Structure formats: C-alpha cells, structure tokens
Amino acid sequence: MNERRRAGEQVSGRVGEAGMTGWLCFPKENPARRGRPSVPCTHYSVFGGCLLALLLSTIPTGDAEAQTLLRWKLKAGQSFAVQTQQHTDSDVSFGGKSAATKIDVDLDSTWSVVAAHDDRLTINQTIDRIVVSLVPPQGSPLQYDSAAQVRPTGQAANLASALKPLIAAAVEVKMNGRGEILDVKPANQAAEWMFVETKSDPADSSSVGRRDVRQILRKPLIVFAESPVADGGTWNRRENVLVYPLTFEQNSTYRLAGKLEREEKRLVKIETSSQLNHEPTAAIPAGGQGPGEKRTIKIKSQEQTGTILFSPEEGHVIEAEQTQKLVTERTYRETTIVVTLERKQKTTIKPKE
C-alpha cells in the first residue's frame, strides 16, 4: 500500500479557548473573532459539545486493499434526535486540602439539515431537554430538569435561570464534508447570549452548568482524512488548545479499526487517541491575564481515547464515546494547585421519523 496513504494526513487544527471555572475547566468562545477557531474536542477546550450529525459515504477501491473515503453526507430536510450524556469528576488539591466536584449533564437535542451544497453543509441545532446534576465541594447537591413541573428553589433556581434560555435557543453551524467547522452563529435571537463574553463568579453554579452545556453544543465529533483510508489505516489532526491561561499543541490520531455487527447492522469502527504537548506553545498568546499578572501551568499527565461507530448503510454515526483525563499543576502566589479532571461522554444519534 502506498506509504503516503499509510502515513495519513496532518490536519491543521483550530485555536480554542478554555477557562478554569470553580473546580472545573470549561470553554469560552467568541465566534465574532474570525481567525480564532472554535474549541476542539477535549474536556479543557471542547467545542462545547456535539453540534453536528456525523455522516459519511464509503467508496471501495479494490478487494485486496479496500479504501474508504469518509465524509459527512447530509441532505437538506433530514433531522436527527441526538442524546448526549456527560459525567465530569474534578478534584482540586491545594495547601494540604482538596475539593471535589461532580457534574452530570444529559442533553436531548435535534439536528436539522438546512442546506447541503457541494462541500458545504448548514445545520441548525435546537435543545429539547436539559438535565444537570451538580455536587459542589460544599453545600447541597443541585439539580435542574427543563421538563420538570416543579419549580426549583434556592441555588437550584439560579442554575435553572441560567439553563432555561437554552431551550429556546437555536445555533447554526456551517461545515465542510470532512467535518471542519467553518462558522458557528446564533440562528435566532434567543441564542445570541451564548456568544457573548462575560466575566462571572467562578464559584457560581449557574455559570458552571451553562458553560458545560455550551461545551457539549460546540463539540465536533470528528474531522476526517483528506484521502480514502484502508482498514487499519490512520490519519492525524494537529491543533492548538488553550489550557487556561496557556496554549498547548495537541495531536490526535484516528484509526479505521474494522467492522462489527450490532442489532443486525454492519457498523464501521474508528478508534481515537490524543496526546498533549507538555510544553506550552510560545507563539500563541495566553490571554486572560490582568496587567502585570503572570501565571504558570504545567501538564503533569493527560489521556484521551474514544471510539466512533457509524453505519455505512444508514449513513450516520450510531454512537460516539470518549474518555478524558487531565492533571495540571499551577502556582498562585505561594500556593501550588493540582487539578485532576476526568470526563466521560457518550452520544447517540438516530434519524427522526
């Protein structure tokens, strides 16, 4: 097999933004800044979560070394029911103390294909239901369910007031056939607040919940190789990600791992893994620091793996799972702070009848 194909493609990524909010690391994004791309698919920089339906076409080129051209293949008028479940554990250690936070987000949304012309796709995403459970280091657990009939009280009311506007919000995403995000913007007035940069209290639970949901909304599932890929073949995607307040280079590897049967459907499996360069990228400005303020952060360890299953016959992803772990060390004045973040996310996609 051709060595160039075996090596895969190097794909230029996008610079994302992320911030340390309380005991969790969530993204912030301003799509008005053209040239500053959206957040990539990590828990410390994620395109806040799944905005798009992953669809593709397969083109065999021979029996001995069959090649598959992976592409998003959408048709105007299609719609999909998307369910995303995300669980995050955070542990912050400082001065001999520690603080643990747990947050669960269940998100039901609808993807509607507005236009599909050549290699350009336009998709609108609306949220049908949000369920957020938050266990802070101190205080009582909080929960919000947008479908609940009982009105929340106390801190849960603050969480509800921040998340409720998402139900009416619609986001428009433009992408190419490989899955690269070209533009993200509000599709109605109710979504405009999602794209406004704000400074909020890091300990505010409503801010934590809203940013976590926004993270899920802005997260692409995959960017495909430029050329067809054989079974066992790989391709790479290199990108810069912001681990607040510094930027690091991340290299993701995708592997076409073969075929399997599930519920009488023949599925194709893609395995993913990512590595983060432990040294920050000096050419990219950090941002987020006040006048005369200097902060440092070290990547102590990082792991990210996942699998994507899709059906060539149905032409869309069936399931996507990802597991992430990041351990960072930063110094604030005389205090060393170690943050351990672990996140699991699962997304399922089904055509709407």
Nearest 5°: phi and psi at 136? Answer: -80, 165
* pLDDT of 104 strictly over 70: yes
**Residue 208: band (very low, low, confident or very high) from pLDDT cuts 50, 70, 90:** very low
Least-confidence region, from 254-263, 291-300, 310-319 = 291-300
* pLDDT of 269 strictly over 90: yes
pLDDT tens, position by position, 147-169:
998 888 888 888 888 788 888 78
Tokens of 126: 């609306």
Angle at 222 between CA 353 and CA 168, to 5 degrees: 50
Q: Which residue has the tokens 């995607």?
A: 237
Cα–Cα distance for residue pair 250/237, rounded to 1 Å? 8
Indicate the SS3 state at residue 280.
strand
Tokens of 312: 């060539």
Instruction: Output the furthest CA–CA distance in the chain (Å, rounded).
Output: 64
Tokens of 323: 């597991």
Please report, for the chain, the start and end positions of each structural domain, with discontinuous segments joined by +.
3-351
Q: Strand pairing of 229-230 and 24-27?
A: unpaired
* pLDDT of 31 strictly over 70: no
What residue type is 75 in one-letter code?
K
* Packing angle of the helix pair 155-163, 205-217 (nearest 10 deg): 30
**Residue 37: band (very low, low, confident or very high) from pLDDT cuts 50, 70, 90:** very low
Q: What is the pLDDT of residue 316?
A: 79
Mean pLDDT of 138-151: 89
Q: What is the pLDDT of residue 38?
A: 38
* pLDDT of 272 strictly over 70: yes
* pLDDT of 305 strictly over 60: yes
Q: Dihedral of CA 280/239/288/220: which sign?
A: negative
**Residue 217: band (very low, low, confident or very high) from pLDDT cuts 50, 70, 90:** low
Least-confidence region, from 68-77, 100-109, 338-347 = 68-77
Q: Which residues of 213-243 are buried (b: 16+ CB within 10 A; e: fewer)?
A: bbbbbbbbbbbbbeebbbeebbbebebbbbb
Cα–Cα distance for residue pair 166/169, rounded to 1 Å? 5
Instruction: Give, as one character, the DSSP assignment of residue 156.
Output: H
Q: What is the pLDDT of residue 157?
A: 86
* pLDDT of 339 strictly over 80: yes
pLDDT tens, position by position, 227-256:
988 999 999 998 877 676 677 888 999 999
Cα–Cα distance for residue pair 173/186, rounded to 1 Å? 9
Residue 88 contacts residue 102 (beta carbons within 8 Å): yes
Higher pLDDT, 134 or 60: 134
Mean pLDDT of 299-327: 89
Indicate the SS3 state at residue 190.
helix
Share of the chain above pLDDT 90, in %: 33
Q: What is the pLDDT of residue 295?
A: 55
**CA-to-CA dists, residue 188 to 77, 125, 165, 278, 280, angstroms:** 19, 11, 12, 40, 38
Could you tell me which residues come within 8 angstroms of residue 87 by beta carbon, excluding any fewer than 6 positions away? Answer: 102, 103, 104, 343, 344, 345
pLDDT tens, position by position, 274-302:
988 877 766 554 444 444 445 578 889 99
Q: What is the pLDDT of residue 198?
A: 56
| Cβ neighbour number for residue 37 with a 10 Å cutoff | 22
- Which helix (H) or strand (E) element contains residue 210? helix 205-217
In this prediction the pTM is 0.71
Q: What is the CA radius of gyration of the chain?
A: 20
* pLDDT of 8 strictly over 80: no
Mean pLDDT of 25-36: 40
